[in-house]
Structure 1
Amino acid sequence: MVSCEAPNQKLNYVFSCHLLAQVQIKIGKLDGERKKPDYKEIIENPILNFSGAFQHLDLYVTAQIFANNQELCMPVKTSYKYIEKEPWVWDEWLTLPLRISDLPRNALLVITVWDIESPKSGDVPVCGSTISLFDRYGEFRQGPLEIRLWPNRVGDGNLKSTTPGLLSDQRELEIEELSQNVDEGINSGQGNGLEEFPMLDELDRLAKLSKYYADGHMIKQEWLDKITLQKIEDTIKNEKVNSKFFFMSVELAQIECDSVKYKVLYYEENAERIVQIIPHNDLFVVNDPELELDNIIESKNRKLEHTEQMILFDMNLKPDTDSKSQLQKIISYPMTRPLKREEQTLLWNYRYYLTQNKKALSKFLQCFDLNLEFEGNTLMELMLKWQPMDIEDALELLGSKYKNYPKIRSYAISRLKNASNDDLILYLLQLVQALRYENFLSTNSLNIKSITSGSASGLSTTNNSVATSAVPINISSNISSTSIKQTKSDDYDAKNFEYSSSPPLASQTMITNRNLLYQIEPQNTFELNLKSFLLERATKDEIVALCLYWFVKVEINDSKVLSSSASTINLFGQSPSLANAHASSSSSNIAGTANHYSTNNLSARTNFQIFMDELLESLRDGDATARSIYSSITNQEKFLKALNEIVKAVGREEGRMEKKLNKLISLLKSTEKSSFDLMNLDSPIPLIIDPSIKIYGIDSDKTKMFKSNLMPCKFVFKSLPSKHFMDPEYAVIYKIGDDLRQDQLILQMIALMDKLLKQENLDLKLSPYKVIATGVKEGFLQFVDAVPVSNILNSSEYRSIREFLRKNNPSSIDKYGIKAEAMDNYVKSSAGYTVITYILGIGDRHYDNILMTRCGKIVHIDFGYILGQDPKLFQPTIKWTKEFADGMGGLNGPDGKENKEYEDFKKYCCNAFLQLRRHANLILNLFSLMTDANIPGIALEPDKTVKKLIDRFKLDLTDEQAQYSLIKEIENNYGSLVGNITDVIHHYNTNRK
């Protein structure tokens, strides 16, 4: 430390190279106002409704040091602090992991304020700024500073920063240089690129004047200075309010010794000896901006290969043994794996040979540039000659990948038409999600034939003119329009089923064809669309219609539904001019509908709303069957509304559980005197959770409430016997406040896998109970009459699974004193759920959400964590514990050999795994259609959803290798130490509650 004395002053200073203290900064107050997004941005990105840009949320600040355009340390951020209202005040000291002695002369401090918009989009910058830690004279900055922050930018740590932050008398030299550049740009009449954030504003001018005054460069007039300084202060406040910038007060730690403050001057020992040396390496990285671009030579070669002249040479070409092996390998690739150029060439060369392989078409589509006219014609020709795809493979063509190619989607619909209604219901949840990728305006404008054409449905029909050549043509068509009464999307109940239809309007539309219209075969394979297909099935089958209604209604009610871009179609669809012509129709009714639904950027929610409107109209104005279905929907809505009001009223009731239960029963019985009697319905209605069953009332005496925060209610419905369900009662659990869509998806997959296994004569005694979400936060679950395994193990009556089986299924002749049927149920169901929970990555498996029926079947419930997610760390991928093994007699018998039941268990696991691997493409396609659905387990990492399933299916292994991998997984997870500890902790926490 050094002291320099002058006649009237004393200067205390210390060199920076001698200070080992870390850099510290205090984050103070942030002033400014965020610009709120306009309605267009909110429509395109509904998540903005919940971001800090639209409503007040807590923000956080990061600080980081840069030098020479590089980071010198990791960023440090403020801790969480609840801030009730603006301005944001942190008053928190941050210590950066860098000593003052290690700072270079040009060190910069970068400050950024962040907001979290959504888990998917991540952190969003609110504003950012950059200040130099040493001023132009080499003095380390200390004490309070007020800095400017640039909105919607991350602090720029480059030497020529684009986010300079100093406004006071300690402004950085770079700011003044930038200001000079601005002056030069203004004087020369050229733009400075900073019109949105001008540097030479009133705040800068006043800051300079204040600096000149403080430095003694102005003549002081005491009486006038007092007035002027007050005026400057008021002006600064007003300018801040009107400024586009944010302003933050910060404070850099001051250096003191014995209560004496010291200045810190930059100094580096032996700096004169430092020579910059550029190292020489044998290998060095060259930045090639063209590295990721297509090779123009290869692209030209591919186009030449696809020309008409080359086709004649390929029609009779057949692969040799090596090529066949390579083709088979390519066809077996998972759907997410892109093809290399060499693989695409191989598929193209043998395309006529491959037309007999129905599995090859989905891979063959990757060989085409779908924006080229000739290749589009070739594809249409080959698709009609190709061996028809399986339905499970055709689902891939309905995903987002082909959303701009309606003719490819139409081909997929032509394959779906062969599916039975039972199979269709298994895929219906995903087909509803595929509606978000449909271009409804394109469909309406092209005027595809009405689904009820020629029938007595009552819907308006249209006349179609089909293009027979790829040249501009005129199409005369009758465009029907529906005037829809506007209702809240989340209030779709029976009282809102009012629609009015306007008469058809003749319209003359000119289509200017650019590679868009191709000759269409008589089969109309490429005229189909998903909306018409689903409406056709719904008007003919009640179960399909009711399931479809509830699936679509939930999507409409979901405020977080993502936008699905219905961008301009480039191939196999309508031209932009057609959409514009339709939108600008002279009919005000047509124009109003087009404007309401937007022509170029329909949201997924709007797609669902349009579909719902047409579904209800088709049922209401259809034939007798359709009108009967419409009546069932109306009755279901009335029933649910009455039940919902009762449950919510009970939820508001204070008191013990017994009091609430009595209140629930009394409210149910009170409906006997109302217009809608829940106890005894006027006529049977389809059960919402399973429309194949008709119910005619509720048995109030068997109603029950569960002890839980959400207080789910058990209701027993009085049902009519049918060929599918002979019991006189059907028990369900009704929950409000819980999103059941993830459980609904997993139970759908379990039911699908159960059906696939049974088709291979492998019945593993699974129990895929029914689940349906009737809203974003409500729904029904089928009640399963089973006992949690935790209750069995902790019961003084049983103590073990084997004892539970013995007492509920006693036998004097069968092994272990247990009926052979019960032991068979236990072994098979254990194997089935072991494989399924492993494939789907079901997490949080503990003894409370694994149940057991009295006949020995294992049942898994509560699927809050999927695809490898788990609330606890290092959990086993398979829940296979000593308690489960003991239930089937243990791993080994008395003779030391492997127990027969355990041997059967592993055999069932392997057989199930291999059979499901053969249908992996179906499961992958169904999950890929759910990637944009607002399901927590998928929305967290939608781009990795399918990949996680591929990893679990072990599709890169042979069947023998896959079996071995599964057995090793089971054996390695047996008696997992981490799993056992987790079970003990969970049991302890449960007992405490």
Structure 2
Amino acid sequence: MEAFHFATTTDLSELSVHVKIDRLDGHQKPIPYSVLLKRPDLRHRASNTNPHSELYVTAQIWADSKPLTVEVQTAYKSFKNARIWGEWLPLPITYASLPVSAQVAITVWDLSPAEDKDSDRHAIPFGGTTIPLFDKDNTLQKGRQRCRIHRFKAADGLSNTTTRWVIPPERKGRNDAPQEHAVDEQITEMQRLEELLKKQEMGDIPENPWLDKLVFRKMEKIKDKAIEAEHTAMNRRKSQSNGINGHVGHDAEDDIFYLDIELPRFDHSIVFTDMEYLPPPVSDIKLLSDSEIRLRPPPEVSFGPGIGTDDAEAGRLIRIYDPEIGRRANPAEDKHRELMRSQQTDSLDRDRKPNVHVRDKLFALLNRGPLDEITTQERDEIWKFRYFLSSRKRALTKFVKCVNWHNEREARQAAPMLDKWAEIDVDDALELLGPQFDHPVVRSYAVERLKKADDDELQLYLLQLVQALKYEASGDRDDSSLARFLVTRAANSLALGNFLFWYLVVEVSDSSSDQAPEHRELFAKVEYDFMTELEKTPEGKEIRRTFRRQVELLTVLAQLSKEVRYGGGDRLAKIARLKKALADPKNDLTNFDPLPLPLDPSVMINGVYPEDCNVLKSSLLPMVLNFRTMANTKYPIIFKTGDDLRQDQLVIQIITLMDQLLKKENLDLKLTPYRILATSAFTGAFQFIPSMSLAAALQKHKGSLLAYLRANNPDDTALLGVRKEAMDTYIKSCAGYSVITYLLGVGDRHLDNLLISPSGAFFHVDFGYILGRDPKPYAPQMKIAPQMIEGMGGPEHPNYMAFKEYCFTAWSTLRKSSNLILNLFALMKEANIPDIKVEREGSVRKVEQRMWLGKSEGDAGREFEKLIEESVNDRMAGVIDAAHDWMQWLKK
């Protein structure tokens, strides 16, 4: 196919529509004297007294039976030999604004002051025509057009217009007179010549000046003869018809006239394109994802009684969209708040104190969680008593939420208050780095608070702080206070620098569609700034070399893991191949210069024990490696390829944080937050803890965990034959992990991913399902297997009561730190983590629901104890475990 070059109407956004009124051709039948005697007013019409009388033309754009513009009129012109205007009329509308149904209604007006009674025109319609601006292919018409004039009618411009510019030819019969066929031939010849003339004007036919003059004269004669022949034939048909009906007289259709107009020419065809308008700025709520739309369908309404109740329409549902319900704030209320706050003065507000009722409401408001909405009235009260609340650190986040930071006047009033406020805690500072706070003043204030945290505390939140970089305003990302803070602190701390480096590497390497390109560029820039900042420190070059060596080490391990996974042979052959590769001198793994372990930079390693390795029985065949430390001890890790460990990394980070929170309250539940690090979007490593799954322990010790504990920690003097420290560790760790996995909604729990170490420490692994997701139906909310209770001595033993007390104490303690936990999850909403991507907005809510923040301590305690009892006695959990064991047996 040949290339078709065209432009769209939207490209002509500044060009107004023009039409050229060229000339009027036609034949007018003289009015008989008998008619003039009956109608003396006809003698005052200019066209009846002179065949070249003065006429003027108006043009107007119509669409869908409605006028789009006012009329535009030609200038006065006196005619001598022919009615020729040759005038371009500009219409007050651009081509980009035209709908596809647009048409030009053109009316020729005849001067007749005697007949003018109702208007100030002093004229009557000589005739009208309506021509569409787009043809049937939605292409803009251009060049010369010959329009049929409908006598004594003003152009109506309607969709089904009665003044069409082209009258379709009548169907001819076999018995039509030869004169009719001759007329048709003359009209066809006239139309053919008009088309050729249009092609020459468009440049398709070359010009020949001396020959064109002769052709034009001949064309004028042919055109006049064709119009006269058409007029004669029409009168003949009228006479035949009138002879039958008995009517003879002057009819409006006895006259035939054509108006030649010209439309602008363009180098290419102009195709209609509807202008795509952006959604109206009514809703300021983020659009829902597909998964959220499935969970929360749009509203549906049905017809009311007596409306559309026909059989075909009965019960039909209509989906409607009201954009105003999508606004977080009312524009009228926003304007009211702006006016009210502009009238208030700081001098009056400083001394303002709330009454007892308002004070109690404000204090209750401060105790709400970070996800609770604040009403308009509450926002006004917080602003009104901001000086009174400034001594309470928990009130700052509420104050920041009640300010419209996009209003310059309001932001100028609120910004100085931040420095006068009582110093906030870290959990509130993290909230101010969330997606709803993009003003640089607010985020800089939060960063200033984080600067007072030590490196160990900062390391607990580093994963979320890296994700918080996504929420920087797009215009401020090049000068982000948070990015500068992270880069500066990490450059002066090997531990922070190690984890910041790997967190950034993973985000930059994530080329999936769920990672926005601008975010990859952002993380790459921060990584570059980090490397640049390292160069300024005394040991910066050496640290950069260390990071490079870590990358090389993990690259070699990733390559070995792929060879083991995709290489042939059974598991024993794969282990032998792995040992050989580890011992190969070209891989340089047995002995190398001391290097900080990426999982734990406080541990220096200098080699791998080739003989002490293993390949686990798993679909991805992860490798178990033992690194040699500088103290000649072994540090075992598991290295895996083909799996994204960022979700497991998040869960372990939260478990580590919760362990720290519990220990601050003097509650050590003997948790085992092993080290884990994602090194790319599909590789990672985690610390190997010598342990055994509950399934394996039960199989080895004839279905008794108590027997396992006795075998590893015997004590004949103890009540159950288990050393007291080991039993205490077992009870506490069971309680801690039961509560934590419940809060995080960890799913797919079975006896193969519940582990126990010889010291009695119980812990969970494999966090492929979190936030309430579970591949198995009817799974319990809290995983407490009967075998776990048996290891404590049974449900009647005092150890079980201690277990329940530890559970409630742990849950109550973590519930007090709900703000910190919820803010950390809120910062991870845009992270490329599978179970968060399912429902980004609802992920934080799911954690909040499991804390029961709306209930009092007493009511929540009773509900939680009931939950423990239901989980212990859940028979469906036993069925699920049995089904899992059966499936594992089939795989062997």
Q: TM-score range, shorter-chain basis?
A: 0.5 to 0.7
CA distance in 2, matches of 1:561, 1:532: 28
- Tell me the amino acid that sits aligned with residue 553 of structure 1: V
CA distance in 1, matches of 2:716, 2:627: 39
Residues 389 and 415, structure 1, Cα contact 8 Å, conserved in 2: yes
Is 1:557 the counterpart of 2:509? The answer is yes
3-state SS, counterpart of residue 775 of structure 1: coil
Name which of 512, 536, 545 aligns with 1:631.
545
Equivalent positions of 1:518-917 (< 5 A) are: 529-560=481-512, 562=514, 603-619=518-534, 621-670=535-584, 672=585, 674=586, 677-681=588-592, 683-721=593-631, 728-795=633-700, 797-892=701-796, 899-917=797-815
**1:706-749 alpha-carbon deviations (Å, 9 max, x no partner):** 1222110000000124xxxxx71100000000111000000000
Aligned to 1:974: 872
CA distance in 2, matches of 1:420, 1:393: 17
CA distance in 2, matches of 1:901, 1:321: 48
Is 1:392 the counterpart of 2:297? The answer is no
Is 1:953 the counterpart of 2:835? The answer is no
Residues 646 and 333 of structure 1: CA distance in aligned 2, closer, same or farther (over 3 Å):
same
Residues 275 and 432 of structure 1: CA distance in aligned 2, closer, same or farther (over 3 Å):
closer
Aligned to 1:361: 396
**1:856-905 alpha-carbon deviations (Å, 9 max, x no partner):** 1111000000000000111110112322111111121xxxxxx3211111
Residues 989 and 316 of structure 1: CA distance in aligned 2, closer, same or farther (over 3 Å):
same
Equivalent positions of 1:390-539 (< 5 A) are: 390-403=425-438, 405-439=439-473, 442=476, 444=478, 529-539=481-491
Residues 243 and 695 of structure 1: CA distance in aligned 2, closer, same or farther (over 3 Å):
farther
Name which of 963, 971, 974 aligns with 2:861.
963
CA distance in 1, matches of 2:840, 2:331: 33
Name which of 372, 377, 381 aligns with 1:346.
381
Residues 666 and 369 of structure 1: CA distance in aligned 2, closer, same or farther (over 3 Å):
same
Residues 678 and 684, structure 2, Cα contact 8 Å, conserved in 1: yes
Residues 539 and 625, structure 1, Cα contact 8 Å, conserved in 2: no
CA distance in 2, matches of 1:949, 1:837: 11
Q: CA deviation at 1:776?
A: 0.6
3-state SS, counterpart of residue 691 of structure 1: strand
Residues 561 and 545 of structure 1: CA distance in aligned 2, closer, same or farther (over 3 Å):
farther
**Structure 2: gaps spanning 5 or more residues:** 1-98, 106-129, 141-171, 175-270, 274-307, 314-318
- Tell me the amino acid that sits aligned with residue 413 of structure 1: V
Q: CA deviation at 1:387?
A: 0.6
3-state SS, counterpart of residue 748 of structure 1: helix
3-state SS, counterpart of residue 702 of structure 1: coil
CA distance in 2, matches of 1:918, 1:819: 33
3-state SS, counterpart of residue 603 of structure 1: helix
Q: TM-score, normalised by structure 1?
A: 0.58
Residues 100 and 272, structure 2, Cα contact 8 Å, conserved in 1: no
CA distance in 1, matches of 2:132, 2:461: 61
Residues 276 and 664 of structure 1: CA distance in aligned 2, closer, same or farther (over 3 Å):
closer
CA distance in 2, matches of 1:286, 1:814: 70
Residues 779 and 296 of structure 1: CA distance in aligned 2, closer, same or farther (over 3 Å):
closer
Name which of 805, 817, 820 aligns with 1:922.
820
CA distance in 1, matches of 2:173, 2:564: 77
Q: CA deviation at 1:539?
A: 1.1
CA distance in 1, matches of 2:774, 2:563: 35
CA distance in 1, matches of 2:742, 2:513: 29
- Tell me the amino acid that sits aligned with residue 616 of structure 2: F
Aligned to 1:507: none
CA distance in 2, matches of 1:777, 1:745: 15
Residues 190 and 612 of structure 1: CA distance in aligned 2, closer, same or farther (over 3 Å):
farther
CA distance in 2, matches of 1:287, 1:863: 39
CA distance in 1, matches of 2:309, 2:381: 58
- Tell me the amino acid that sits aligned with residue 771 of structure 1: I
CA distance in 2, matches of 1:922, 1:191: 64
Q: CA deviation at 1:562?
A: 4.7
3-state SS, counterpart of residue 828 of structure 1: helix
Residues 978 and 816 of structure 1: CA distance in aligned 2, closer, same or farther (over 3 Å):
same
CA distance in 2, matches of 1:327, 1:183: 60
Q: CA deviation at 1:638?
A: 1.6
CA distance in 2, matches of 1:399, 1:383: 17
CA distance in 2, matches of 1:193, 1:801: 85
CA distance in 1, matches of 2:733, 2:798: 16
**Structure 1: gaps spanning 5 or more residues:** 1-180, 199-216, 220-241, 245-273, 280-284, 447-527, 565-601, 722-726, 893-898
- Tell me the amino acid that sits aligned with residue 542 of structure 1: L
CA distance in 2, matches of 1:442, 1:311: 30
Is 1:940 the counterpart of 2:838? The answer is yes
CA distance in 1, matches of 2:795, 2:788: 10
CA distance in 2, matches of 1:334, 1:275: 48
**1:189-231 alpha-carbon deviations (Å, 9 max, x no partner):** 7778998899xxxxxxxxxxxxxxxxxx999xxxxxxxxxxxx
CA distance in 2, matches of 1:924, 1:978: 31
Which range moves more in the overlay, 909-918 or 652-661?
652-661
Q: CA deviation at 1:644?
A: 2.1
**1:363-385 alpha-carbon deviations (Å, 9 max, x no partner):** 11121121222211121111010
Aligned to 1:987: 885
Aligned residues: 603
Q: CA deviation at 1:853?
A: 0.9
- Tell me the amino acid that sits aligned with residue 711 of structure 2: K
Residues 837 and 276 of structure 1: CA distance in aligned 2, closer, same or farther (over 3 Å):
closer
Q: CA deviation at 1:775?
A: 0.8
- Tell me the amino acid that sits aligned with residue 961 of structure 1: D
Residues 717 and 375 of structure 1: CA distance in aligned 2, closer, same or farther (over 3 Å):
same
Q: CA deviation at 1:287?
A: 11
3-state SS, counterpart of residue 978 of structure 1: helix
Q: CA deviation at 1:972?
A: 1.3
Residues 536 and 289 of structure 1: CA distance in aligned 2, closer, same or farther (over 3 Å):
closer
The structure having more radius of gyration, on CA atoms, is 2
- Tell me the amino acid that sits aligned with residue 836 of structure 1: I
CA distance in 1, matches of 2:497, 2:591: 25
Residues 748 and 776, structure 2, Cα contact 8 Å, conserved in 1: yes
Residues 751 and 295 of structure 1: CA distance in aligned 2, closer, same or farther (over 3 Å):
closer
**1:495-528 alpha-carbon deviations (Å, 9 max, x no partner):** xxxxxxxxxxxxxxxxxxxxxxxxxxxxxxxxx7
- Tell me the amino acid that sits aligned with residue 629 of structure 1: I
Residues 326 and 715 of structure 1: CA distance in aligned 2, closer, same or farther (over 3 Å):
same
Q: CA deviation at 1:318?
A: 2.2
3-state SS, counterpart of residue 714 of structure 1: strand
Residues 637 and 688, structure 2, Cα contact 8 Å, conserved in 1: yes
